[in-house]
């Protein structure tokens, strides 16, 4: 068996090939460009890990992992257009570099290319892999649409926010693991537990991401804190604060968000602290992490095989703050 880090290395080597023809360069160069921006390749590695949990890695796991990574990059190219984002991983986004029209079309063709890779696998699992891939891909689109909708809405409930985050980010993590498991011949029960492990781990990760943006140690977090607060971004923290604050403090919070005072971050953080939003967030994260780990425990394979998934959980959820 491979460690999590070894699998990252193995996939990176396999993925560093050209996935597109050269002509027309105006269509395919943007695709190549975007893939060179890198990324942690977490999702395809999760596919390999889900596969190796049950058996030696199947040759089919690599094309499926590749399809997942191409799909993920397609969503990023299109999301960057929708978010009018100029930078991605410190580099110019596709629509800024090549124009929105080409970014739409290059994203489309990257999505289509992912289905080429899916079609490489043994017929035995093709239908179930396609079914899960399609379902998940549509859910990711639904999550992105809800995210855009919520940005226009004044009030969003915690349940709705969790639903959105689950669709937008967690289901792809969950499905990546499950696709690996399907190829590994796992039972339906094991597939379900592995999916729920990935889904809940993803939600815990997102809560942590929101937490760190507000309360992280800038030295360890690697970027300035308060970015979400400055942008009035709806996060776990803000949604919870708005739901538990007194009417006066809620009005104050909304006013700060509207007027953007110079000490906006400090003021918002003070209100968060007043309502112990930081403690609440850590507890909520722990709850989801616990659910995730329970599902991992309930998969009927020997514990040694679960080690890379434990490493993954440790990698995603830093306990060090």
Which DSSP helix (H) or strand (E) runs through 88? strand 87-88
Task: Name which position in 108, 278, 298, 311 contacts a second copy (CB under 8 A).
Answer: 108
* Stretch in the footprint of a second copy (CB under 8 A) among 124-132, 195-203, 225-233, 311-319: 124-132
Q: Is 182 exposed, middle or buried (0-12, 13-18, 19+ CB in 10 A)?
A: buried
Report whether 249 contacts 271 (CB < 8 A).
yes
Kindly state whether residue 294 participates in binding a second copy, applying the rule CB under 8 A.
no
Closest CA relative to residue 70, chosen from 120, 21, 109, 96: 109
Kindly state whether residue 27 participates in binding a second copy, applying the rule CB under 8 A.
yes
Show the tokens assigned to 236. Answer: 């776990």
Task: Name which position in 10, 12, 37, 81 contacts a second copy (CB under 8 A).
Answer: 81
Kindly state whether residue 85 participates in binding a second copy, applying the rule CB under 8 A.
no
Q: How many residues does the chain have?
A: 321
Q: Cβ neighbours of residue 208 under 8 Å, at least 6 residues apart?
A: 285, 317, 318
Closest CB 206 distance from a second copy, rounded Å:
19
Task: Name which position in 10, 37, 85, 141 contacts a second copy (CB under 8 A).
Answer: 141
Task: Name which position in 12, 37, 105, 225 contacts a second copy (CB under 8 A).
Answer: 105
Report whether 230 contacts 269 (CB < 8 A).
no
Kindly state whether residue 247 participates in binding a second copy, applying the rule CB under 8 A.
no
Q: Which residues bind a second copy (CB under 8 A)?
A: 23-24, 26-27, 78, 81-82, 100-102, 104-105, 107-109, 111-113, 115-116, 118-119, 123, 126-127, 130-131, 134, 137-138, 141-142, 144-146, 148-149
């Amino acid at each position: 068996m491979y460690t999590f880090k070894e699998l990252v290395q193995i996939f990176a080597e396999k993925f560093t090939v050209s996935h597109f023809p050269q002509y027309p360069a105006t269509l395919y160069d943007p695709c190549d460009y975007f893939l060179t921006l890198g990324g942690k390749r977490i999702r395809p590695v999760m596919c390999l890990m889900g596969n190796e949990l049950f058996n030696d890695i199947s040759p089919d796991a690599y094309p499926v992992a590749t399809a997942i990574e191409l799909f993920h990059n397609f969503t990023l190219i299109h999301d960057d257009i929708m978010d009018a984002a100029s930078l991605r991983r410190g580099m110019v986004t596709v629509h800024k570099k090549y124009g929105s029209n080409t970014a739409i079309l290059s994203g489309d063709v990257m999505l289509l290319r992912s289905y080429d890779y899916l079609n490489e696998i043994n017929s035995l699992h093709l239908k179930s892999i396609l079914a899960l891939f399609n379902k998940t891909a549509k859910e990711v689109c639904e999550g992105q649409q809800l995210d855009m909708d919520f940005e226009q809405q004044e009030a969003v409930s915690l349940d709705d926010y969790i639903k959105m985050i689950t669709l937008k980010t967690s289901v792809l993590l969950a499905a990546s693991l499950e696709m690996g498991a399907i190829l590994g011949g796992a039972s339906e029960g094991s597939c379900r537990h592995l999916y729920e492990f990935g889904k809940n781990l993803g939600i815990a990760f997102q809560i942590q991401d929101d937490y760190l943006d507000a309360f992280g140690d800038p030295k360890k977090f690697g970027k300035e804190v308060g970015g979400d607060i400055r942008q009035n971004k709806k996060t776990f923290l803000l949604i919870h604060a708005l739901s538990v604050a007194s009417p006066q403090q809620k009005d104050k919070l909304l006013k700060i968000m509207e007027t953007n005072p110079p000490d906006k971050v400090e003021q918002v953080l003070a209100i968060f602290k007043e309502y112990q939003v930081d403690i609440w967030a850590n507890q909520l994260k722990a709850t989801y992490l616990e659910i995730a780990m329970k599902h991992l425990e309930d998969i009927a394979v020997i514990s040694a095989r679960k080690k890379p998934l434990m490493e993954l959980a440790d990698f995603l959820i830093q306990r060090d703050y």
